Amino acid sequence: MRDIDKTTAADAARAADDRKTAPMTMIQALRSAMDVMLGRDDDVVVYGQDVGYFGGVFRVTDGLQARYGKQRVFDAPISEGGIVGTAVGMAAYGLRPVVEIQFADYFYPATDQIVSEAARLRYRSAGDFTAPLTIRMPCGGGIYGGQTHSQSPEAFFTHVCGLRTVMPSNPYDAKGLLIAAIENDDPVIFLEPKRLYNGPFDGHHDRPVVSWSKHPLGEVPEGHYTVPLDKAAVFRPGSDLTVLAYGTMVWVAEAAARETGVDAEIVDLRTLWPLDLDTVVASVKKTGRCVIVHEATRTSGFGAELAALVQEHCFYELEAPIERVAGWDTPYPHAQEWAYFPGPDRVGAAFKRAMEG
C-alpha cells in the first residue's frame, strides 16, 4: 500500500467531502454512479447486452432494472452498431443514454456510429444537436481473456475529434468521472480496466488479490459528486522522474517505484482526451525525466502522442530520453499473458534506464 501521506487529488477531494461514504469496489462505484444519475435525471437510460435482468457480465448494472424498470434499464440485441446507433438518436433528441459494450474488443462493429455520427453530430449540425451519450467498455488484460477479451483500444478514440476518452484507476475516480461523463453534452468513451474491478493490481499476478476495502480510494461517497473530465491527478509525488500512466498501469508504476527505490512522480491521466497537458508539463519540467506506461500495443499507442507532447513542451528540461513501456505489437496472448502484460519488472527497468540516461 502506498504511503498515505502522499495524497492524490482524489484523496483530497474525498477528505473534503463531508457526505456519507461507504467502501466500494470499482464495480460498486460504477453501479452507484448510474444509480445516482437514474434517480436524478429521468432522461438517463442504461442498456446493452445482458445489462438488464442479468446485470451485466461483470454485474456492474446488477439491480438497476429491478429498481428503475425495464423502460430505463434494458437488454439490447447482440449488435454493437445497433446499440450505439440508437444511443446517438436518443441523445440527439434529449435523452442521456449510458450504453455498455460488453468488452472493449467488441466495439469495432460500432465504429461508424461512434466516429461518423456521435463524434461529428455537434459539428455537422453547427451546434443545433449534441450527442450526450456515454459508452462504457471493460478493457485490458490480466484475467486470461485472450486476444478477444483483453484489448486496450484507447488510442483509436483519442484520434477522433469530438470524443472524450476516460480511463479511471480507482473506485473514487470511477464514480466521479462516470457521473461527469453522463452529465456532459459530448460523447464519452468510458474505459474500465477489468483487472481493477475488485481491487488494485500491481502486476504481481502470483500474489494474493488485494481488496479495495483495504485502500483509501475504495472509500466512496454514496451520493452525487463529480471528478473533472479534463484534470489529471498526481497519484504519487516524487522528484527523480515522471511516470505518465492511466488505469491499471498506475498501480504497476507504483509497485515499480517501491521495488526500485526510484522516487517517481506518478501522474494518473484519468482523462486521456482532452488531456491535462499543464499537469504533465509541470511534472516533467520538475523531474527532467519521463517514463510513459500503458497496456496497449506500443506502435501508435497513446504513449506515442504523450512522448511527442513531452518532447515538444519539455525539450530543454529533459535530462534523458523519454522511455515507453507498453504491450508488445502482437495480439494479446492467452498462454503468455504475463510476458505481454507490462509488469513492474519491465517498468522498473525503464526507470533505471531513465535515471542512467
pLDDT tier for residue 357 given thresholds of 50, 70 and 90 = confident
**Residue 123: half-sphere exposure toward Cβ, Cα within 13 Å:** 11
The pLDDT assigned to 12 comes to 47
Is 313 labeled as catalytic in the residue annotation? no
195 phi and psi angles, rounded to 5 deg:
-70, -15
Nearest to 104 by CA among 57, 141, 151, 59: 151
The pLDDT assigned to 16 comes to 46
Q: Which three cell numbers stand for residue 260?
A: 526500485
**pLDDT above 90: residue 145:** no
Quick one: how far is CA 100 from the chain centroid? 14
Residue 223 DSSP class: S
> What's the whole-number average pLDDT of the chain?
93
**pLDDT above 80: residue 128:** yes
For the chain, give the percent of residues with pLDDT over 70: 95
Q: Is the dihedral of CA 287, 291, 292, 293 positive or negative?
A: negative
Query: Taking a C-beta distance cutoff of 8 angstroms, is the pair 57, 100 a contact?
Result: no
170-184 pLDDT tens trace: 999 999 999 999 999
pLDDT tier for residue 349 given thresholds of 50, 70 and 90 = very high
75-107 pLDDT tens trace: 999 999 999 999 999 999 999 999 999 988 999
Question: What is the identity of the amino acid at 27?
Answer: I
Quick one: how far is CA 130 from the chain centroid? 23
Q: What is the mean pLDDT of residues 206-220?
A: 92
Q: Which of 149, 204, 205, 224 is catalytic?
A: 149
The pLDDT assigned to 5 comes to 41
Distance CA 137, CA 341 (A): 19
Nearest to 31 by CA among 8, 59, 5, 54: 59
Nearest to 60 by CA among 175, 214, 187, 140: 175
229-288 pLDDT tens trace: 999 999 999 999 999 999 999 999 999 999 999 999 999 999 999 999 999 999 999 999
Query: Taking a C-beta distance cutoff of 8 angstroms, is the pair 233, 247 a contact?
Result: no
Query: Taking a C-beta distance cutoff of 8 angstroms, is the pair 130, 95 a contact?
Result: no
pLDDT tier for residue 348 given thresholds of 50, 70 and 90 = very high
Nearest to 91 by CA among 47, 53, 55, 54: 47
Side-by-side strand order, sheet with 290-297: 233-236, 264-268, 241-245, 290-297, 323-327
The pLDDT assigned to 2 comes to 39
Determine how many CB atoms are found less than 10 A away from the CB of residue 254: 27
**pLDDT above 70: residue 10:** no
Q: Which three cell numbers stand for residue 216?
A: 483509501
46-80 pLDDT tens trace: 999 999 999 999 999 999 999 999 999 999 999 99
**pLDDT above 80: residue 3:** no
Give me the residue label for grid cell 495524497: 7
Terminal-to-terminal C-alpha distance of the chain: 29
Q: Which three cell numbers stand for residue 307?
A: 512522448
- Class of residue 166 by CB neighbours under 10 A (exposed 0-12, middle 13-18, buried 19+): buried
Whole-model pTM: value is 0.93
Query: Taking a C-beta distance cutoff of 8 angstroms, is the pair 292, 306 a contact?
Result: yes
Q: What is the mean pLDDT of residues 203-218?
A: 92
75 phi and psi angles, rounded to 5 deg:
-85, 155
Query: Taking a C-beta distance cutoff of 8 angstroms, is the pair 252, 342 a contact?
Result: yes
Q: Which three cell numbers stand for residue 349?
A: 527497468
Distance CA 110, CA 344 (A): 34
Considering all CA atoms of the chain, what is the largest pairwise distance in Å, rounded to the nearest integer?
Answer: 60
Distance CA 20, CA 10 (A): 16
